[in-house]
């Protein structure tokens, strides 16, 4: 089980857009260049973020991406869901309803699915409790030069 590398890209690009400021639109190519990422593939992640209202895109030669909302109102779960989709990692195929042990009258929820679902909820709760604003504050505390460096690079 592995999350797409696009999640790391998407979170870092959102942080960079936040530090750049909503008054500047940044192209996918420029966002990609900052980490030497493949621009076309990053553009797909940015489109997914736009579909979920996390970034806003402006077309045209001077267009690009901006953060669509305040970073304090975008959670890590929002970003992960935009890239990975909303479905849980464990998907019960209800194998207990096949074969000689199957009981058509049994309407209970599978106990395995239930336990896996609770672990998934704990994971989501943690990601939903962490906003991009929180992550930015963490970076500003441990690597205080980063926000200014990002802002300068993306605005000049």
Q: Where are the alpha helices (DSSP H) in the chain?
A: 6-20, 28-34, 39-51, 76-84, 111-128, 132-142, 146-155
Residue 60 or 144: the one with the smaller Cβ distance to its own copies is 144
When asked if residue 70 is in the footprint of its own copies (CB under 8 A), the reply is: no
Which residue, 132, 122, 117, 37, is CA-closest to 79? 132
Place of tokens 């402006």: 58
Residue 23 or 103: the one with the smaller Cβ distance to its own copies is 103
Residue 118 or 155: the one with the smaller Cβ distance to its own copies is 118
Enumerate residues 6+ apart whose C-beta is below 8 A from 53: 68, 69
When asked if residue 95 is in the footprint of its own copies (CB under 8 A), the reply is: yes
**What is the Cα–Cα distance from 126 to 155, expressed in whole angstroms?**
33
Residue 34 or 69: the one with the smaller Cβ distance to its own copies is 34
When asked if residue 36 is in the footprint of its own copies (CB under 8 A), the reply is: yes
Q: Which residues bind its own copies (CB under 8 A)?
A: 1-5, 7-9, 11-12, 15, 33-37, 76, 84, 87, 89-93, 95-96, 98-101, 103, 106, 108-109, 111-112, 114-116, 118-127, 130, 134-135, 138-139, 142-143, 145-146, 149-150, 153
């Amino acid at each position: 089980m592995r999350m797409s590398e696009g999640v790391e890209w998407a979170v870092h690009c959102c942080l960079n857009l936040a530090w750049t400021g909503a008054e500047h639109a940044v192209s996918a190519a420029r966002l990609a260049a900052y980490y030497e990422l493949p621009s076309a593939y990053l553009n797909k992640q940015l489109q997914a973020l736009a579909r979920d209202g996390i970034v806003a895109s402006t077309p045209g030669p001077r267009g690009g991406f901006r953060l669509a909302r305040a970073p304090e109102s975008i959670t890590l779960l929002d970003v992960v869901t935009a890239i990975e989709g909303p479905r849980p990692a464990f998907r019960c195929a209800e194998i207990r309803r096949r074969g000689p042990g199957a009981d058509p009258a049994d309407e209970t929820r599978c106990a395995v699915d239930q336990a896996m679902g609770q672990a998934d909820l704990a994971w989501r709760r943690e990601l939903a409790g962490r906003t991009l604003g929180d992550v930015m504050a963490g970076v500003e505390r441990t690597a205080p030069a980063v926000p200014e460096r990002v802002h300068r690079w993306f605005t000049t």
